[in-house]
Amino acid sequence: MIKTPDNPTLLYITNPMCGWCYGFTPVIRRMRALWQGRLTVKVLMGPLQAYATEPLTPDAKDKLAVSWHRVQDRTSVPFDYRFFTRRGFVYNTEPACRALLCVRLLRPKLTLEVLRAMHSAFFADLKDLRNPAVLAELVRPFGISENLFMTLFESEEIIQQMEEEFNYVESIGADNFPSVFLQTTHGMAYLTKGYTDLNELEQRMLRELEMKV
């Protein structure tokens, strides 16, 4: 077994409405399971289309559809392409990100599980993750009461914290989602910018760990 630095952490930069993140979250969950007790996984939200105000254009829809098909071809996760019949859809991901931030504060150990549920709800079940009521319904099975969730979700503090997290993600150079960093007492290293499979991700992490012991 490889000797590892104390308390290595994987920073998983993601977004609940990111197609490639939808395909990649199972990889992160398997990595966490394989390295249970030796590795911490922390989920951070990236500002993909956060605060968008304009509806998707036909050209943007076409590009998005191509991307979704590529994700499905590579990872086999299901998509409901009836999404593209929606008119006037504003792809604002901030509410979904803020909801996941609430989950990370209230039930940190369940963050990846809720992220997986949000991905499936949006991409496979056509749930509107911009709607606070839909978000409250999604987190309820994870033991988070609607009143508690909505109080935190609508607070000025959490809105500000979300903005600060977006700024932090941008400051470390995570401009592509998903992205993964390895953080140790020796610093932080980029493991992947975009999708990669479990074996490749683990090999990259092992190389970094071996250089730091």
Structure tokens at 152: 């935190």
Give the mean pLDDT of the chain: 95
Domain residue ranges of the chain, discontinuous segments joined by +: 9-208
DSSP 93-127: -HHHHHHHHHHHHH-GGGHHHHHHHHHHHHHTT--
Write down the CATH superfamily of domain 9-208: Glutaredoxin (3.40.30.10)
pLDDT in tens, 31-79: 999 999 999 999 999 999 999 999 999 999 999 999 999 999 999 999 9
pLDDT in tens, 97-146: 999 999 999 999 999 999 999 999 999 999 999 999 999 999 999 999 99
Reference 53, options 86, 14, 90, 84; nearest CA is 90
